A and B are shown apart, each in its own frame.
Chain A
């Protein structure tokens, strides 16, 4: 069974630029999560999708971050414009149905904002 795929693996941009991350969850997993993990900290949930609907985006900085999950499968997370403090690893995870199930994580995208 293929795992959660993410791309790119690394991205370096300058502040005020835009960046987008892509995630392909495990086949059949209805729930998809985006996390932000700053160095030395635990992951922080940014947004949770159930199929193509948003379940929780309370911690998503909506003035600069956006995410979508068209057709309930792949998802993209965008930052526009990026700030220095956005430097982090962005993790995508999926689960069969909701947070009561085990979450499977992708390898992450490491973002450096200069």
Chain B
């Protein structure tokens, strides 16, 4: 299984601080995506990074991918209370569909 495993399971930070979440997977992937899920709301796509890319940015988000270590990280800079959510990585293996990890629960305290 190429299921991603997020680390840590839960994270609490103060507003304005940076938050870093990691995702590890087991087999080679085609691409990796990060999603956010607010309490009681649906999943929202944040960023997609392909296996031949090493880093992508989107606003306050920075995603890195290290295929040699089979890991990815999501960095949220200058966090806000509205960033409080669960964050999931989803991996797509060759010929396989997306598999979501169990998620990291982020709490941003005012």
Contacts and interface: CB of A to CB of B under 8 A. Distances in A.
A45 B2 CA distance: 14
B97 A107 contact: no
Residue in B98, B101, B102 with the greatest tally of chain A CB atoms within 10 Å:
B98
Given A42-B88, A100-B31, A105 B44 contact: yes
B26 to A, nearest CB: 15
Nearest to B47: A102
Interface residues of B, number: 19
Interface string B63-105: 0000000000000000000000000101010000111111100
A99 B98 contact: yes
Contact of B103 (A42, A45, A93, A100): A42
Nearest to A47: B97
A44 B103 CA distance: 12
A40 B39 CA distance: 11
Nearest to A4: B42
A43 B30 contact: no
A107 B31 contact: no
Contacts of A41: 102-103
B20 interface: no
A25 interface: no
Contacts of B100: 35, 42-44
Q: Which of B42, B44, B100 has the most CB of A within 10 A?
A: B42
A55 B92 CA distance: 14
B65 to A, nearest CB: 15
Contacts of A35: 100
Nearest to B100: A42
A83 to B, nearest CB: 22
Nearest to A56: B97
A106 B42 contact: yes
Interface of A: 33, 35, 40-45, 48, 55-56, 91, 93, 99-100, 102-108
Identify the 10 closest CB pairs spanning chains A and B, nearest first: A42-B100, A105-B43, A105-B42, A102-B45, A107-B42, A43-B100, A99-B97, A99-B92, A42-B102, A42-B88
